[in-house]
Chain A
Amino acid sequence: MNGCEDKIPSIERWLDGELSGAENDSLRSHVAVCAECSEAQRRLEKLQSTLKAALLSEAQRVDFAPFWRAVQLRVNEKRPWYQEALDSMRRALPAPRVAWVVPAVIVLLLAVVSLESYLPGWRGAGRNAFATVESIDAYGRNVALLREYDTKTTVIWLYQDQEGENEAAEETAPSGPAF
């Protein structure tokens, strides 16, 4: 070993035509006098030519006449309308142009959702009041909710409707002697 191991990548780049003129000349003259590098060059060239010959010999055996017919058949195939629509959408909105849209939409949604916490009552004039009361009738019981926006407090009342009870009592009470 002449310590030329580190020259292998340069030899590869040289054979691949990726070296500049000066580097090219310098390496060429070195390889001409260095047995190890010359051997590395030979091995690389043989590897390249063997692989190329293998793939070429295979490709030359293939009859490409039916190839075009097969491609043409697929091209002329009638595609479902939704695939056509999807394709035209993709053409109109190529990926790099809309890549930022998804995170932007997520950020916007999060902002809208969290806005209520920072700006209570921003959604409408009615919500700007100091408090609102809502009542819900649940199985004969009434529930009232008092929401105070300033203090962010919710008070829940559970109460019975007295008037309703009285009416019910009147309906079931005996209305007088039956005889």
Chain B
Amino acid sequence: MELTDWELVQQCQAGEMSAFQELVSRYQQKVYMVILGMLRNREDALEVAQETFFRAYRKISGFQGGSSFYTWIYRIAVNLAIDAQRRQKRNPLDFRETMDDLLESQDEAARDPFADLHDKELREKLVSAINDLTPEHKAVIVLRTIEGLSYKDIGEILGCSEGTVMSRLHYARKKLQDKLSAFL
């Protein structure tokens, strides 16, 4: 029988490293997707995802189970991604291999992160439209899209009300639709 997140957290608090490994394997992909959606850069997203789990491990002894593990881990991930994005904006020359670059490299189709999508133009526009959103708007749209989280959970992760989540989602979707109107 599969252990719940909370049971794994408790084992981890008792010093079981394998329990933490299980938690990492459950959430690594989703955490990575959330961060990638916000940073659009593979290397940075992987780095921030690793930092997320490292911080989670360090703080796990203080995790009381007041919220679910996934809202807790996403909160760490989103905060780190927002910080990383602000650093990127301050040092634009530090950008390494961005998704835009990957999309432009025609000969590297296997490395194209959006290769499964049939419409390359739509993908390019989508990436560019997401980039124009603020970190907070990116966070709501990505959390809702990937995990299908409720407004309540998103509000808990971002530390804002459900009403704020709803209005941010509406704004982000409107912005994306305006930019992609020809493709949707």
Contacting residues, chain A, for B116 (C-beta < 8 A): 53, 56-57
Q: Which B residues are in CB contact (< 8 Å) with A44?
A: 173, 177
Residues on A with beta carbons closer than 8 Å to the beta carbon of B131: none
Contact among A43, A51, A54, A64 for B29, CB-based, below 8 A: A64
Partner of B24, one of A50, A52, A55, A71: A71
Contact across chains for A57 and B28 when beta carbons are under 8 A apart = no
B184-A68 in contact (CB<8A):
no
At the interface, yes or no: A22 with Cβ under 8 Å from chain B? no
Asked whether B117 lies within 8 Å of A54 as measured between CB atoms, the reply is yes
The reply to whether the CB of B169 lies closer than 8 angstroms to some CB of chain A is yes
Cβ A16 vs Cβ B122 within 8 A: no
Q: By the criterion CB–CB under 8 Å, are A50 and B126 in contact?
A: yes
Q: Which residue of A lies closest to B21 (CB)?
A: A68
Query: A43-B177, A50-B122, A71-B24 known; A58 and B113 CB under 8 Å?
Result: yes
Classify chain A: how many residues form its interface, as a range. 35 or more
A8 at the binding interface (Cβ < 8 Å): yes
Instruction: Say yes or no: is A48 at the interface (Cβ < 8 Å to chain B).
Output: yes
A contact residues around B151 at 8 Å (CB): 16, 18
Whether the pair B180, A47 counts as a contact (CB closer than 8 A) is yes
| B90 interface hit (Cβ, 8 Å) | no
Q: Which residues of A (43-97) have their CB < 8 Å from a CB of B?
A: 43-44, 46-48, 50-59, 61-62, 64, 67-68, 70-72, 74-75, 87, 91, 94
Q: Which residues of B contact A (CB under 8 A)?
A: 17, 20-21, 24-25, 28-30, 32-33, 36-37, 42, 46, 49-50, 53-54, 57-58, 61-62, 111, 113-117, 122-123, 126-127, 130, 141-142, 144-146, 148, 150-151, 166, 169-170, 173, 176-177, 180, 184
Top 9 nearest A-B pairs by Cβ distance?
A: A58-B113, A57-B116, A55-B33, A74-B54, A43-B184, A71-B53, A59-B33, A51-B145, A54-B114
B122 with A55: CB separation less than 8 A = no
Distance, CA A93 to CA B180, complexed state (A): 48
* Least distance between A15 CB and chain B CB atoms (Å): 10
Residue of A46, A51, A74, A91 near B141 (CB, 8 A) is: A51
Q: Do B113 and A61 touch across chains, with their CB atoms under 8 A apart?
A: yes
Residue interface bits A104-120, CB-to-B below 8 A is 1, else 0: 00000000000000000
**Distance from A66 Cβ to chain B, minimum over Cβ atoms (Å):** 9
Residue pairs across A and B with Cβ atoms less than 8 A apart, 23 shown, are A13-B166, A18-B150, A18-B151, A47-B180, A50-B117, A51-B130, A53-B116, A54-B126, A56-B116, A57-B113, A57-B114, A59-B33, A59-B36, A62-B32, A62-B42, A67-B24, A67-B49, A68-B21, A68-B28, A71-B50, A71-B57, A74-B50, A75-B20
Contact of A55 among B21, B142, B166 (CB under 8 A): B142
19 more contacts with CB within 8 A, not counting A18-B166, A64-B25, are: A8-B170, A12-B173, A13-B166, A16-B150, A17-B150, A43-B177, A43-B184, A50-B117, A53-B116, A57-B117, A58-B33, A61-B111, A67-B24, A67-B49, A67-B50, A68-B24, A71-B24, A71-B54, A72-B21
